[in-house]
Amino acid sequence: MAQAVLFHSGKVPPAGWLAAIARLAPEIEVRTLDTLGDPAEIDVAISWRLPSGTFKHLTGLKLMQCSGAGVDQLLADPELPPDLPLARMVDPLQADEMVAFALWAVVEQHRDLARYRAAIQQQEWLFQPQTSMRSRRVGVLGLGAMGGKLAARLAALGFATAGWARTARTIPGVTVHHGAEGLAALLADSHILVNLLPLTRETRGLLNLSLFRQLPKGARVINLGRGPHLVEEDLLTALAEGHLASALLDVFTTEPLPEGHPFWSHPQITITPHIASLADPNHAAEQVVENIRRVRAGLPALNLVDRQLGY
């Protein structure tokens, strides 16, 4: 029986991925849902999320390869076969793009650039006092491939940097906290809080009013993880009561952000349309091809997800 790979993406045109895989591994046949043929021939599916009703036809599936770093949307899919190996993308380029975007977001908040932009729109040359980066404490939630690198870069740039992870680790120049007490210590000392945690049972809704109130008054929050990390109404409350000064969000509970949602035009909230992490097929395809070859050689795939941990 022929063997083939299924590639599916909701918003990214498939041409880039198909070309990148063809260039690296011409022997691998890649199909899309439009060119699926016999679904039993698909041994590896590459997608961020498959349309409802797809999994049950893929009776020969040996690996679900997520095309992104986060797999919460796949784990939440009741149709995902319970014993199917699931791999996530751990792409150095994607991590680098995320780190660069996160640095952008931290400087946005550090320098209060949204206020300058609002003044510029009024043709006003605004002067406002600035806080130096040496006294601006940045806290990073999640110290994996992305968060760990971000914390190290922030410290190297000159920000007073701390981080928090589930388990203990060491990053040069960064104060690392872990566990429940560690979280409280991080929050008490973070003027700018950046979330890069995976979305799991433990982290869903973590960015809530109780957490915001543990931050210093005037703190700023950046969410680059997943929409459901944040309790959106709680952010509005914390801004309205003056405890938080501003927020920058790239991810939302509902995406695209619904029409009329208060985040579209809130003066203290800067939003971007889920663009922080950028996957380049030319780099990501290397990892995918490696995993396809491993599965076909009877080897375990790389970067397999622990479904209990959720990442």
Residues that bind its own copies (CB under 8 A): 11, 93, 96-97, 99-101, 103-104, 107-108, 110-111, 113, 116-117, 119-121, 123, 125-127, 130, 132-134, 153, 156-159, 255-257, 259-260, 264-265, 271-273, 275, 278, 280, 282-283
* Residue burial 240-250, b: 16+ Cβ < 10 Å; e: rest: eeebbbbbbbb
Angle between helices 113-121 and 92-110 (to 10 degrees): 70
23 included as an active-site residue: no
Burial bucket for residue 18 (CB in 10 Å: 0-12, 13-18, 19+): middle
What tokens were used for 249?
A: 């969000």
Nearest Cα neighbor of 196 from 167, 171, 159, 221 is: 221
**Distance in Å, CB of 4 to its own copies, minimum:** 26
Among candidate residues 198, 249, 188, 179, the one with its CA nearest the CA of residue 219: 188
Active site residue 226: yes
* Cross-strand pairs, 248: 222, 270
Minimum distance of its own copies from residue 229's CB (angstroms): 19
- Comparing C-alpha atoms, which of 100, 70, 101 is closest to residue 86? 70
Shortest distance, position 282 Cβ to its own copies, whole Å: 7
- Closest CB to its own copies among 75 and 113? 113
Query: In this complex, which beta carbon is closest to its own copies, that of residue 278 or of residue 304?
Result: 278
For residue 174, the minimal CB distance to its own copies (Å) is 16
Given the residues 274, 293, 294, 307, select the one marked as catalytic. 274
CB nearer to its own copies: pick between 260 and 298? 260
Instruction: Rank residues 158 and 218 by Cβ distance to its own copies and give the closer one.
Output: 158
Question: Which positions are catalytic?
Answer: 226, 274
